[in-house]
Structure 1
Amino acid sequence: MTTHSESRLKASDGLELHVQSWRPENTTEPLRAVVAIVHGMGEHGGRYARLAAHFAAHQIATITYDLRGHGRSAGARVFINDFNEYLDDTEIFLTHVRHTFGQVPLFVLGHSMGGAIAALYTITRAPAHVRGLMLSSPALAPGEPVAPWMAKAGRWVSRWLPKVPVFKIDPAMISRDKSVVDAAKQDPLNAYRGTPARTAAELLDAMARIHANADALHLPLYIFHGTADKLTAPWASEQFHHNAGSQDKTLRLYPGHFHETLNDLDREKVIGDLTQWMLQHLPLAKTPEPAHDSV
């Protein structure tokens, strides 16, 4: 069980971001960790409530924010002019997390485009207070190859017609679990209608920046990806894992899983593996000093 709360944050340009958190109901024991989630394109932070409930059973809190233009945050739907807008928002969000949770060990979990945001943020801004980076099906390359001429044309469109939609996310590709797909289709806070050309072009550029600077990442790193993912490329996760400068890094590929391994069939194993990795990266609880009889 969890205690849920919601709040608002103001971005550097004044745009309001929706924040929500889930804490374990057990307040007699200290928090073991907090997970800050950066969600994917077209979705919103509320979709991680079930994952938060699992973490709470391990005395781990969860906090997330809706990306600008997503969910209950302000902004044109799924639109950015510059990928750095996401990085700046994430910095404000993580500063808020730090102020809220103090010295509780912090892990960052990024899914899909949120994985690209989290990866580029930790590479370029090297946050000292983050204990580990966890990437779920990160958007490090498109699921289907983009021909050079198509990428060039897309950048031209992004310059002159930045809000023209260039592709849509098919919810059927996120999971083999029909109930998950149906819920995603019916969720009014999801925005799968079409990705603006500027957002798509900025994401492609961010992917290139991440790979070019992978050796600058030194945080403990955990990447997990489904081999049947058609939205983001599993091979790119393998490449990033190989090139990352982290000495402590793990890659898990789940055979046959679709894009959202956390919501796919056999998700209990995926969530269990993720949780186990986190717990292994927490300091051991201190053993109480034995009592000494007075003489």
Structure 2
Amino acid sequence: MTEHTIQAEKVIGWHPEDLVSQLPPLDWQSLPLADSPAWQEYRQHYRLHFLQLESVTHYAGKIALCGYDIAVQLWRQPNAKGTALLMHGYYDHAGIYGSLIEFCLQQGLDVVIYDLPGHGLSSGDRASISSFQDYDDIFSQVLQQLQSHLDGDLYLFGQSTGGAVCINYLLKRQLTPAQSPFAAITLFAPLIRPKGWNKAKILHSVLSFALKRIKRTFNQNSADADFLRFIAEHDPLQPRYLSVRWVGALRQWIPFIESQIKNDININIIQGDADNTVDWCHNLSILSQKFPNRQVFMLPGGQHHLVNESLENRSVIYQQIAKWLNLG
């Protein structure tokens, strides 16, 4: 973690409980429109209007999976070329992924994104999980529903912990390229180990007997100062604590994933060389072993939260991804 941190102040503005209380079950045959006043406030607060894309329709609902109510959002447009499934990172939620949602829509893709358990509008202890395989169970079931109800190719995107969920799905099942359900897979600063992991393990061993959570500090993980200020001061869906249980789940997951055999599926990786959140040198080494057919794009000066990097850096990132996808 960097020495410079942003201290969280009192969150103001939009109130998420109004939206969670009215989130309907997701019916794939008759998708529920996200058109209530609470959803309008949500889109306003997180700047999810996409005014240049007038034909896009926003839907939302919840799915009961693995003991959680998982909040799912969809953006659909006429004559879509496929569907993008977006996986957010730890502490994150769908609302702060507007830039990636808009990019995918501009590429002609519909978009599906769900909040991980304990995140955003989904139920569960905040930012906590007992096992990363719980993430996998939910991911695989959402994927099955997408394959059953939506047509066209699927394009997978994962940021940090969301990338870890994608990696787990692929390596655990040892899918061949022919078996992969995805036309393309793009990972942003994917998590294998966080930076300073050896010290973190020692700290976890000491604290896990006495504490359930540790107060969070908001680290500088992007060159976009407005984004950093927003999540620290104005985002009511940001967890205020690090879950000790989540660290324990990560501690179990790392040796599991690092022991998996290689996979020939093609994956695209975007990584910033100024990332102080994950141990990116180690992670890229592991990923090069596990995915020999990977493509890596290094972003000079890029920090960790690549989906919310500076406008200049995001422009470079999305130009590269557009080349990889080649959707025309």
Structure 1, gaps ≥5 residues long: 285-295
Q: Please tell me whether the aligned partners of residues 120 and 206 of structure 1 are also in contact (alpha carbons under 8 angstroms).
A: no
Match of residue 225, structure 1, among 271, 275, 283: 271
Q: Could you tell me how far 1:99 is from its partner in structure 2?
A: 2.3
1:105 is matched with 153
**1:47 and 2:93 correspond:** no
**1:88 and 2:127 correspond:** no
Give the Cα separation in 1 of the matches to 2:91 and 2:252.
19
Q: Could you tell me how far 1:161 is from its partner in structure 2?
A: 4.8
**Residue 132 of structure 2 aligns to which amino acid in structure 1?**
F
TM-score relative to the length of structure 1: 0.83
Q: Could you tell me how far 1:223 is from its partner in structure 2?
A: 0.9
Q: Please tell me whether the aligned partners of residues 136 and 225 of structure 1 are also in contact (alpha carbons under 8 angstroms).
A: yes
Q: Could you tell me how far 1:214 is from its partner in structure 2?
A: 5.1
Show CA shifts across 1:233-289 (max 9, x none): 221332133202443x2011111111112221221110121232122xx6x9xxxxx
Q: Could you tell me how far 1:188 is from its partner in structure 2?
A: 0.8
Question: Tell me, what secondary structure is at the counterpart of 2:97?
Answer: helix
Give the Cα separation in 1 of the matches to 2:104 and 2:186.
14
Q: Could you tell me how far 1:169 is from its partner in structure 2?
A: 5.0
Give the Cα separation in 2 of the matches to 1:221 and 1:162.
38
Question: Tell me, what secondary structure is at the counterpart of 1:199?
Answer: helix
Structure 2, gaps ≥5 residues long: 1-52
What pairs with 1:79-228 in structure 2 (closer than 5 Å)? Answer: 79-102=128-151, 104-125=152-173, 126=175, 128-147=180-199, 150-155=200-205, 157-158=207-208, 160-161=209-210, 163-165=212-214, 168-170=216-218, 172-185=219-232, 186-191=234-239, 193-213=240-260, 215=262, 217-228=263-274
Q: Please tell me whether the aligned partners of residues 273 and 298 of structure 2 are also in contact (alpha carbons under 8 angstroms).
A: yes
Q: Please tell me whether the aligned partners of residues 97 and 308 of structure 2 are also in contact (alpha carbons under 8 angstroms).
A: no
**Runs of 4+ displaced beyond 3 Å:** 155-158
Q: Could you tell me how far 1:202 is from its partner in structure 2?
A: 1.1
Q: Compare relative contact order (CA 8 Å, sep 6+) and give the higher one, 1 or 2.
A: 2
TM-score relative to the length of structure 2: 0.75
1:16 is matched with 69
**Residue 221 of structure 1 aligns to which amino acid in structure 2?**
I
CA RMSD after TM alignment: 2.1
Q: Please tell me whether the aligned partners of residues 230 and 259 of structure 1 are also in contact (alpha carbons under 8 angstroms).
A: yes
The alignment-based identity, stated in percent, is 22
